[in-house]
Structure 1
Amino acid sequence: MLSCLITAATVHAGDSIETGGDILAYFLPATAAGLTLAFKDFKGTVQFARSTAFALGATIALKYTTNETRPNGERYSFPSGHSAVSFASAEFIRKRYGWEYGVPAYAVAAFVAYSRVEARQHYTHDVVAGAAIGIASSYLFTKPYKGWGLQPEATSKYYGMRLTRSW
């Protein structure tokens, strides 16, 4: 009887993680869009829409191209769409509004990715690929908002930080 209770508690905890990840996967892009409205940043709204559309398009194209089976036996595992959109949102928030907003957004995106693996919806490489797609899309389509910005930069010849000012 004790083993049944432990198993039931474990299953319930797993369901809670999956549900929490699903909720946060919607909450994070809603927050990114909400920030653009709160700042009356209509250029940011367009940049967020472009980066999210690119991330989703790339993710869907790869899902149908690879048709990888999920850990639970269902189709279209690679890459994770939840991770792609969550990390696109987090990188948009970080690049547009700064690290103060970006760090919590990245923490939420990381939990979303973890929840997908924990729920057996994806393998680790699925969520890593989704994260890379999301980050790359927002990095490409997003410009910093007003003020000073600091961002890491790397090429094959150097690593450093870039200080920018926009107005």
Structure 2
Amino acid sequence: MKRLILIILLGILNSKASFSQKTFIESSGDILQIGIPAIAFGSTLLIKADDKPHWQFVKAFGTSFVVTHALKRIINKKRPDGGLHSFPSGHTSAAFTGAAFIQKRYGWKYGVPAYLLASYVGYSRVYADRHDIYDVAAGAAIGIIASYLFTKPYKKNNAIFLSGTFNKNNILLSLNYSL
């Protein structure tokens, strides 16, 4: 898993991203919003499992993408820099979909770094004046919820995962450790 992450990250960082007109923070956020989901999907192809994890990822990412872009068109909130379709942040949604998939599938050992990188993507969008904190928070929530709907923990390794249910009167969160 570590080797896969390193190979994918080096490939992405070696890509021909345009750093000339963008700041390093904005460009690295652009790269990571692709890299985190790529690592999540790549892991499903390299780690053998019987529960079809690649389809779990495709359903999570597809749901996140459709919900994010539908809301962008329906709400049509102005961006801080004057552009259109600010709410929710698509970069953040994609990054958090990948991070939540990694965390739910493989546990917090890999989830914490993935969430930190996804948070950096959100920060980069606010820093670049493309979104405000509400856009980023909504994108993160969409990505996490979409991944939690479709992702099953990988049972070969011990894993800690968070799950929850809610209705109009109650919220129940549980922290589980699987052997």
What TM-score do you get using the length of structure 1 for normalisation?
0.85
Give the alignment of 1:2-151 within 5 angstroms.
15-41=23-49, 43-147=52-156, 148-151=158-161
- Give, in whole Å, the separation in 2 of the partners of 1:22 and 1:130: 15
Q: How many residues align?
A: 154
CA-CA distance at 1:150 after TM superposition: 2.3
CA-CA distance at 1:149 after TM superposition: 2.9
- Give, in whole Å, the separation in 2 of the partners of 1:87 and 1:153: 16
- Give, in whole Å, the separation in 2 of the partners of 1:94 and 1:157: 21
CA-CA distance at 1:163 after TM superposition: 3.0
Question: What code does the residue aligned with 2:175 have?
Answer: M
Report if the CA contact (8 A) 2:92-2:136 is conserved: yes
Alignment partner, residue 10 of structure 2: none
Question: What code does the residue aligned with 2:154 have?
Answer: Y
Query: Which has the larger helix fraction?
Result: 1
Larger Rg: 1
- Give, in whole Å, the separation in 2 of the partners of 1:61 and 1:152: 28
Question: What code does the residue aligned with 1:100 have?
Answer: K
- Give, in whole Å, the separation in 2 of the partners of 1:157 and 1:58: 23
Unaligned runs of 5+ in 1: 1-11
Unaligned runs of 5+ in 2: 1-19
Report if the CA contact (8 A) 2:126-2:133 is conserved: yes
Q: Deviations over 1:4-42 (max 9, x none)?
A: xxxxxxxx8x71110010011111111111111120347
Question: What code does the residue aligned with 2:161 have?
Answer: Q
What TM-score do you get using the length of structure 2 for normalisation?
0.79
Aligned Cα RMSD in Å? Answer: 2.0
Change (3 A) 1:163 1:21: same
Runs of 4+ in 1 over 2 A off after TM superposition: 147-165
Change (3 A) 1:70 1:163: same
Q: Deviations over 1:49-106 (max 9, x none)?
A: 0000000000011000000000010000000000111001000000011111111110
- Give, in whole Å, the separation in 2 of the partners of 1:49 and 1:157: 28
